């Protein structure tokens, strides 16, 4: 019996759903941080909420890495050369980095009491853009599946193992301050740093290379099952390693520890496998999954508009004034608002495109 060909991964449902989960976690992270009152921040429930929110950024960066080989492979299918396909990926990374700078400018204008130094603040887009560029170049440098997977895995491991060391290298201080912010934390000026965060993109790229290599649905099932099992084993290994004495002179489990990186990477792998299993079980996606896919495909749009709404003037009366249960209710309402904004944007864009097609058709039909 011939296996069913795998679907076009440019729009693989389970990847969109996984990215949609990242969007939900991102909104939760920001609403909990911005709106929960101080008196509720010492509770166990708040701690769990923060821990759950902590998976948003790794998931976004990991999926950005997964998308690099998928996008490059899509370019090859369109007839592009390997170099041209990689250039397309690199351009996308540069575009995201430029958007990061524009986003900081917007935040400076719209946020109450913003200081000019915040224009140089390093946020997730500042890391994601260069990570995509680097992953695109690595994809171009190696040609075989085995070489690419090995290269990305080695880079991910090297980044996370070097993080505790890099954070404490004194010579970094001779670099320009704005460059130091991309390497190690500097208070509120660095929400993210290259070490260890770029490692998630490399780890995701290794998985993306494997996804592009499968040609049949049966092979895809085996691959995703293997990814899920490997993810669970990586989580178990991470927890075991965390119980052992650290090999580093200075390291923090929650920030620089390679063991926590492994735990999170394993969870991300298992999450993708679970969403693929859901895709296999659901012949016709229910409305909730379709809406989740909408959020996933619009992750950059949601990120762009929601941060300033959460931290800016629009919701300033809620700033650190809600009990945790109140934040939970506000989170649900706000998430529905973001979903409505996505659907409205999609409708406006579709109408504009339809109008443009109609005008083009009328122009072509007009006799000369």
Sorting pLDDT into bands at 50, 70 and 90, what band is 368? very low
- When pLDDT is averaged across residues 164-192 and rounded to a whole number, the result is 86
Ordered by start, the domain boundaries in the chain are 9-365
Contact 31, 319 (CB under 8 A): no
Quick: pLDDT tens for 145-159.
999 999 999 999 999
pLDDT digits (tens, 9 = 90+) for 309-324: 998 888 889 999 999 9
**Listed residue (194, 68, 203) closest to 132, CA to CA:** 68
Alpha carbons 182 and 124: distance in angstroms, whole number: 11
pLDDT of residue 135: 98
* pLDDT band at residue 355 under the 50/70/90 scheme: confident
Q: What percent of the chain has pLDDT over 90?
A: 69
The pair of structure tokens assigned to 7 is 């679907």
pLDDT tens-digit map of 279-317: 988 877 678 888 999 999 999 999 999 988 998 888 889
Give bridge partners of residue 190 from the DSSP assignment: 122
For the ranges 100-109, 111-120, 223-232, the maximum mean pLDDT occurs at 223-232
Q: Is the pLDDT reported for residue 171 higher than 90?
A: no
Please tell me what DSSP assigns to residue 111.
S
pLDDT band at 24 (very low <50, low <70, confident <90, very high): very high
Helix or strand or coil: residue 43?
coil
Q: Which long-range contacts (CB under 8 A, 24 or more apart) does 326-335 make?
A: 326/35, 327/31, 327/32, 327/35, 327/36, 327/40, 330/31, 330/35, 331/27, 331/28, 331/31, 331/32, 334/27, 334/31, 334/306, 334/309, 334/310, 335/24, 335/27
* Of the ranges 101-110, 243-252, 345-354, 355-364, the best mean pLDDT one: 243-252
Q: What rounded mean pLDDT belongs to the chain?
A: 90
Residue range 249-275: mean pLDDT, rounded: 94
């Amino acid at each position: 019996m011939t296996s069913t060909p795998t679907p076009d991964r440019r729009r693989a449902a389970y990847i969109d759903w996984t990215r949609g989960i990242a969007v939900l976690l991102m909104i939760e992270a920001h609403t909990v941080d911005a709106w929960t009152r101080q008196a509720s921040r010492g509770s166990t429930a708040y701690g769990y909420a923060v821990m759950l929110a902590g998976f948003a950024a790794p998931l976004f960066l990991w999926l950005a890495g997964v998308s690099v080989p998928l996008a490059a492979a899509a370019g090859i299918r369109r007839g592009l050369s390997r170099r041209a396909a990689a250039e397309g990926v690199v351009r996308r990374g540069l575009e995201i980095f430029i958007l990061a700078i524009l986003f900081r400018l917007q935040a400076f204008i719209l946020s109450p009491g913003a200081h000019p130094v915040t224009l140089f603040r390093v946020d997730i887009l500042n890391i994601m853009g260069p990570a995509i560029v680097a992953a695109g170049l690595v994809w171009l440098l190696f040609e075989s599946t085995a070489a690419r997977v090995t290269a990305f895995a080695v880079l991910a491991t090297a980044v996370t193992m070097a993080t505790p060391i890099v954070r404490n290298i004194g010579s970094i201080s001779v670099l320009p301050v704005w460059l130091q912010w991309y390497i190690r934390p500097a208070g509120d000026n660095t929400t993210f740093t290259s070490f260890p965060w770029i490692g998630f993109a490399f780890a995701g790229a290794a998985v993306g290379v494997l996804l592009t290599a499968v040609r049949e649905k049966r092979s895809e099932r085996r691959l995703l099952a293997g990814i899920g099992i490997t993810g669970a084993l990586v989580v178990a290994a991470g927890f075991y390693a965390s119980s052992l004495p650290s090999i580093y002179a200075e390291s923090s489990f929650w920030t620089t520890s390679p063991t926590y990186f492994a735990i999170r990477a394993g969870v991300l792998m298992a999450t993708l496998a679970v969403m693929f299993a859901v895709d296999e079980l659901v012949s016709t996606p229910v409305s909730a999954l379709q809406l989740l896919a909408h959020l996933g495909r619009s992750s950059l749009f949601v990120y762009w508009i929601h941060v300033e709404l959460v931290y800016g003037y629009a919701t300033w009366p809620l700033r650190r004034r809600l009990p945790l249960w109140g934040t939970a209710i506000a989170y649900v309402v706000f998430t529905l608002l973001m979903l409505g904004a996505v659907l409205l944007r999609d409708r406006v864009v579709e109408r504009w495109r339809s109008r443009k097609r109609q005008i083009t058709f009328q122009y072509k039909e007009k006799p000369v």
